[in-house]
Amino acid sequence: MTQSTTITEFLNTLTELEDALDNAYWEASSIMHKDLIYNIISIIRFESSELNKLSVQDHHYPYEPVTAEIRELKERLHFLQNDINHYVLRTSTATHLEHLIAHVSSLRI
């Protein structure tokens, strides 16, 4: 079931997800893994950048996608999650990412 979230809550989730993916990027053992992770980070940065252009007074409104790329986020995260132990070698990073991916999957994007 998807749940509604505010722009502020979504930005906070994106920031936490980006931080976890940044850790996974530096821990990745191959260029292919780094490319996959960096692609997801790029989607997050682009959406965050556009959302941060909104007035702070509007951040209490329900989140709605701003960029076309954000619609690919769930699909790319699902791909990463399906084989997370292959892409993310450190257990703590993988566990944190699994938690965040589950949370993002429950959101309406």
- Contact predicate 74/109, CB 8 Å: yes
Separation between Cα atoms, residue 49 and residue 62, nearest integer Å: 17
Q: State mean pLDDT over 12-28.
A: 96
Separation between Cα atoms, residue 108 and residue 106, nearest integer Å: 7
pTM: 0.90
State percent of the chain over pLDDT 90: 82
Separation between Cα atoms, residue 4 and residue 97, nearest integer Å: 21
Q: Give the pair of three-digit tokens for residue 74.
A: 């769930």
Q: State mean pLDDT over 13-42.
A: 96
